[in-house]
Amino acid sequence: MTSSWHRRKVFVTGCTGLLGAWLSDWLVLHGADVVGLVRDGVPQSNFYRLGLDRRIAVVRGSVEDYPLISRILHEYEIEVVFHLAAQSIVGIANAGPLSTFSTNIGGSWNVLEACRDSKLVRAVVVASSDKAYGTQEVLPYREDMPLIGRHPYDVSKSCVDLIAQAYWHTYRLPVAITRCGNFYGGGDLNFNRVVPGTIRSIFDGQAPVIRSDGSPRRDYIYIQDAVNAYVLLAEKVLDGTAVGNAYNFSNERPLNVLELTTMIGRLMGRPDLEPVVRNVTTNEITDQFLSAETARRQLGWRPEYTLEAALLETIAWYRGFFQDEALAATAREIDPAGAPGR
């Protein structure tokens, strides 16, 4: 894989997000020339912890800006596009859907249209989601099921998925679509998500809080397995074997929220911190999990990590992150003006 990415010109939207940062890091390590689109700079984010602001070309802006996206593709002579940028929090989408629709749907058609206009783009990988399937009577989700999102975030992903398919069927844009479960791993600073939120609560010596009744079952896919999936799919688009298709990626081990939080507590040595179940969530699908049979059969993809091994790596990342936070806070208390130590 190293030789196939050496000096390849790659554009990553959403490069400061959980997946975007780790994917950009992988691409740089494998010799790619990466351009990242950055809307908001978050100093604590993994993007900066990995030093990506010094290792890739950074363009400030948003996917809603079509002239900017077009300029990037042309001026940087982009060959491969990973379109990851999205408003990805379900609760935020429910509270105020317009920003989610603008970023997720409008931003996606901007990226796809700019790619259609480019003479150099050879592969586009678009991030959809398991949420695009909506509520189905039969599980697990399979790629031939209809996309029937009903709530704002789910609808945005159904639309993105269908628009990407339209650009293949109508214009033969070399695009492929990923449908993944819930990402987790070091670097996720959205602490209202179950994995980082649970880890932070336990590090603070507090019982984790579950906003649902604890019963919804979900797919959880480790971020390093997701990076491998995206890279492999892009390579398959480049060689023409996966163009125009959508693929589910999953470890095929659905857990309910209560099981997951309990597992994290056990792995952190605090099984005594039993979760507090609030049961206050609304407009969320009860059970969502995927079959990855097509990805195994057509792409040869399989997750490399067990859930337990991946969670231990994730916990270790946050341990370092919180220790760094504590050291920084101590330094500010000792020298609040930032003057050199005496």
Residue 171 falls in the annotated catalytic set: no
Structure tokens at 170: 């109508």
| Residue keyed to tokens 């336990």 | 202
- 288 bridge partner residues: 218
Q: Of these residues, 133, 141, 153, 220, which one is catalytic? A: 153
* Nearest in space to 251 (alpha carbons), one of 285, 275, 228: 228
Contact 193, 220 (CB under 8 A): no
Contact 197, 319 (CB under 8 A): no
Q: Which residues are catalytic?
A: 153
